């Protein structure tokens, strides 16, 4: 096992650090920037199904569901296809309306999650085209779907999912870009800049990982907090959910992820000087609005840990701690902003003496209902 950990103390840390490589492996051979081409067999062979779809339904559980939420933003923004994201466990039992004009995308690291598998069967019975995004080759979901794309993240051993999440977002971005090109919903220039920027992501993730020591110091300050709030907007709303899930899973601290603007409809009541609030405030999208959310937290004496874009000035003046990530296109920011949140959970869990790789009561793959 020590050999498998490759010199890291835990699988989770190893897998966090593998992300630059895993993301590269995910788009290698698929993203051909010089030819302005995305080649993915599972999509190429069924392009008509996607292009003519009335909508895309995404089903998943846990972290994979969060990747699905990011994909909703990407598909709608880039390819202008309506998307619904569902917990597989809710979808399968709520008598959903499914037609043969729907495409269902099931996202699953293991490819074995019982609820996701059941949702696939239901969609197939109702005539939908079913596409799988899995990590484990030859898994049940990979076999049950009409077509699919592997994430090629390599084995993920830590129960808390890390590299599976970022590689799922990478695959889903490639699909969205492919469809956008086919539908003409992006200009040539926009399309090219996406391809170029995707190729920079592994290097930018490396840069984001360099904040590890600074994050460890932040973890030291907040490791005994009983609660934690995570806020983000737009593309980074699902990242806030994922950040909170990561902390809950491995450190057993109660954490909630919220869309920053919804804070005023409830969570703001919880904010006092003992409440750490992690805010994703990159310079794209809703930056100014997030800044005003940060001001609201500050005036209630909450402790602010902000994930910002390199060179940020405004948030730095307000926050108690800032963690920088490199600049990128808004749609790709989740691939960078997720990294510090993974590291923060890791260090806090470690300091609390928790079993990082095998948290209590959780399973890597949930094959029962």
Contacts with ligand G6P: how many residues (CB under 6 A)?
Answer: 15
Among 26, 64, 167, 236, binds ligand G6P (CB under 6 A): 64
Q: What six digits make up the tokens of 73? A: 């933003």
Rounded to a whole number of angstroms, the minimum distance from the CB of residue 265 to ligand G6P is 27
251 interacts with ligand G6P by CB under 6 A:
no
Radius of gyration, alpha carbons of the chain: 20
159 interacts with ligand G6P by CB under 6 A:
yes
SS3 193: helix
- Residue in this structure with the two tokens 């805010």, named with its chain if needed: 279
Task: Please identify, among the stretches 58-66, 78-86, 122-130, 298-306, the one whose residues bind ligand G6P according to the rule CB under 6 A.
Answer: 58-66
Diameter of the chain by CA atoms?
56
21 interacts with ligand G6P by CB under 6 A:
no
- Residue in the shown chain whose Cβ atom is closest to ligand G6P: 62
Evaluate whether 207 touches 19 at the Cβ level (below 8 Å): no
109 interacts with ligand G6P by CB under 6 A:
yes
- Which residue lies nearer to ligand G6P by CB, 160 or 319? 160
161 interacts with ligand G6P by CB under 6 A:
yes
116 interacts with ligand G6P by CB under 6 A:
yes
* Angle of helix 163-183 versus helix 19-27 axis, rounded to 10: 30
61 interacts with ligand G6P by CB under 6 A:
yes
SS3 164: helix
Rounded CA separation 346/171 (Å): 25
108 interacts with ligand G6P by CB under 6 A:
yes
Residue 146: Cβ within 10 Å count = 18
51 interacts with ligand G6P by CB under 6 A:
no
Rounded to a whole number of angstroms, the minimum distance from the CB of residue 362 to ligand G6P is 5
Q: Any idea of the CA torsion for 175, 178, 179, 184, to the nearest 10 degrees?
A: 150
- Which residue lies nearer to ligand G6P by CB, 135 or 283? 135
Phi, psi of 305 (to 5 degrees): -115, 115
Rounded to a whole number of angstroms, the minimum distance from the CB of residue 244 to ligand G6P is 14
- Which residue lies nearer to ligand G6P by CB, 114 or 261? 114
32 interacts with ligand G6P by CB under 6 A:
no
Among 21, 55, 284, 364, binds ligand G6P (CB under 6 A): 364
257 interacts with ligand G6P by CB under 6 A:
no
145 interacts with ligand G6P by CB under 6 A:
no
Q: What binding mask, one character per residue, do residues 265-304 give for ligand G6P by CB under 6 A, x or -?
A: ----------------------------------------
Phi, psi of 352 (to 5 degrees): -90, 5
Evaluate whether 176 touches 78 at the Cβ level (below 8 Å): yes
For the question of residue 364 being annotated catalytic, the response is: yes
The CA distances from residue 236 to 73, 74, 153, 281, in Å, are 10, 12, 22, 9
Rounded CA separation 260/280 (Å): 9
Rounded CA separation 70/90 (Å): 19
The set of catalytic residues is 364
Which residues form the interface with ligand G6P (CB under 6 A)?
A: 61-64, 108-110, 113, 116, 159, 161, 362, 364-366
């Amino acid at each position: 096992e020590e050999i498998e950990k490759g010199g890291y103390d835990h699988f989770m840390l190893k897998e966090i650090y593998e992300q630059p490589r895993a993301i590269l492996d995910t788009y290698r051979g698929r993203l051909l920037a010089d030819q302005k081409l995305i080649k993915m067999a599972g999509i190429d062979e069924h392009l008509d199904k996607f292009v003519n779809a009335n909508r895309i339904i995404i089903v998943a559980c846990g972290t994979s569901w969060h990747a699905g939420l990011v994909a909703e933003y990407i598909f709608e923004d880039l390819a202008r296809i309506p998307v619904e994201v569902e917990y597989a466990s809710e979808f399968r039992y709520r008598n959903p309306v499914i037609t043969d004009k729907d495409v269902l995308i099931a996202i699953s690291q293991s490819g074995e999650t019982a609820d996701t598998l059941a949702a696939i069967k239901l969609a197939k019975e109702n005539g939908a085209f079913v596409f799988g995004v899995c990590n484990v080759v030859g898994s049940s979901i990979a076999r049950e779907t009409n077509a699919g794309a592997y994430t090629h993240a390599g084995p993920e051993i830590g129960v808390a999912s890390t590299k599976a999440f970022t590689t799922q977002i990478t695959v889903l971005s490639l699909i969205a870009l492919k469809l956008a090109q086919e539908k003409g919903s992006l200009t040539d220039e926009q399309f090219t800049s996406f391809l170029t920027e995707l190729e920079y992501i592994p290097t930018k993730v490396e840069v984001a990982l360099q904040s590890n020591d600074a994050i460890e110091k932040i973890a030291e300050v907040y490791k005994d907090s009983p609660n934690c709030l995570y806020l983000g907007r737009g593309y980074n709303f699902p990242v806030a959910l994922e950040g909170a899930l990561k902390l809950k899973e491995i450190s057993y601290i109660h954490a909630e992820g919220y869309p920053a603007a919804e804070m005023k409809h409830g969570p703001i009541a919880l904010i006092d000087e003992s409440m750490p609030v992690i805010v994703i405030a990159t310079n794209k999208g809703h930056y100014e609005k997030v800044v005003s959310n940060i001001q609201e937290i500050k005036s209630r004496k909450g402790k602010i840990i902000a994930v910002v874009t390199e060179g940020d000035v405004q948030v730095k003046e307000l926050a108690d701690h800032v963690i920088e990530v490199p600049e990128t296109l808004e749609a790709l920011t989740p691939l960078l902003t997720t990294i510090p949140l993974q590291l923060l959970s890791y260090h806090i869990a470690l300091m609390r003496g928790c079993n990082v790789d095998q948290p209590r009561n959780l399973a890597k793959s949930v094959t029962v209902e």
